[in-house]
Every structure is written in structure tokens, then in C-alpha cells.
Amino acid sequence: GADETVGGVVLFVSFDLINSTAFKNRSPYWPLVISRFYNLAVKEIQSLSDGFRVWKYVGDEVLLYKHVKSSDDLARDVSFIFKSVNSIVDALDNSFSQFKNFLSVKGTAWLALVKKLPPQDMEKLREYVDSGENKNKIQNIVIYPEGRIETTAIDFLGPDVDIGFRISKFAHNRKLTVSANLAR
């Protein structure tokens, strides 16, 4: 079933394969490499820290999330994410040595405070917002695209969730870019 703890502070992580578009045009091995990258990204972070779950796979990017329980866990998880970026690159280099120094990985991590919005509450949202004083209260939400709370298909929406996609442009090879609120 769905993760009952997805409301609250959520840590998001993106592992992004560098040069994958050029690689797909140059090598017939690209499906093997992408598949291996997907598996490594999930395995590496989950082996270091409990609680990371796959959010989604988007082309050459793996997105994960984790409910934040404490600031100590958060600090530890950021170092684990950085370690994972380098472990994924090393493992890809070992598996596909002919592409070493061409393919690499960059990471991005950010935080958002999210509100769980069960499907039955989505219909009430209009009157909630229209009542006036609630206009700016809904910032970031977890939604259930299949309309059932028991589903494992969830998505996160909101301005703080989107920050990660904007700052990921500043990520570099074997580096981890973190949002300002996570750094603070």
C-alpha cells in the first residue's frame, strides 16, 4: 500500500545520468547502461539509508523521496546521497569500462513540506480555497493519480517540489547540488 508517512517534511533526490542523450546516439548498448543505472541508483542509496523510495524514473533520471524523521538523519542522508553519486559512477565504470570518462552521474537533493491530500479531499479543494482565508495555505501536496489512497502510485506537486528540478541544472559530474533550504 501507499506510504502512510509521506506527509510532513520530505527529502527528494535526483540521480541524473550525464551525456546519456549523446550516448544513446553513439552506442547500441544504451538500454543496458540505462537499466543498470536505474538499478544502481536505487540499490546504492537504499543500502546506505532506510526509507528511500522510488518516486519515478524520467528518462535518464531516477527520483527518490524519503520522509524526514530528524535533523540528524537528514545530515547523514545528505552525505549518503553524495557517497551514492560516486558509487554509482564507479559501478558504471566497472561494468562498462569502454564508456569511462564519457558517462557520469550528478545528484540533486532538496526538501519540501508536503500535505497529504487524499483523493476524497481533492473534490473539497475548490470550496476550501474559495473560502478566502485558505488561498495561500496549500503549498505542496502528495496526490494519488489513480484516485485510490491504497495505490503505490503517488506524485508530489508544489513550488517547493519544483525547486529541485530548477536547481538540478547547476549540478555537475560527481557532485551533489543541494537546495538553499536543505543547506540551511
Residues 29-50 pLDDT 10s: 899 999 999 999 999 999 999 9
Q: What is the DSSP string of 107-150?
A: EEEEEEEEEE--HHHHTTHHHHHHTSTTTTT---EEE-TTS-TT
CB 63 within 8 A of CB 57: yes
Q: What's the pLDDT band for 130 if we cut at 50, 70, 90?
A: confident
Taking residues 57-72, report their average pLDDT.
93
The whole-angstrom separation of Cα 73 and Cα 161 is 20
Q: What is the pLDDT of residue 115?
A: 84
pLDDT greater than 90 at residue 66: yes
Mean pLDDT calculated for residue range 109-133: 76
What average pLDDT does the structure give for the chain?
Answer: 86
| 99 pLDDT tier (thresholds 50, 70, 90) | confident
Q: What is the distance, to the nearest Å, from the Cα of residue 72 to the centroid of all Cα atoms in its chain?
A: 20
Taking the C-alpha atoms of residue 12 and residue 81, their distance in angstroms, rounded to an integer, is 10
Q: How many CB atoms sit inside 10 A of residue 151's CB?
A: 13
- Mean pLDDT, range 103-131, rounded to an integer: 81
pLDDT one-digit tens code per residue, 142-161: 877 666 555 567 889 889 99
Query: DSSP code of 99?
Result: G
Quote the pLDDT of residue 2. 44
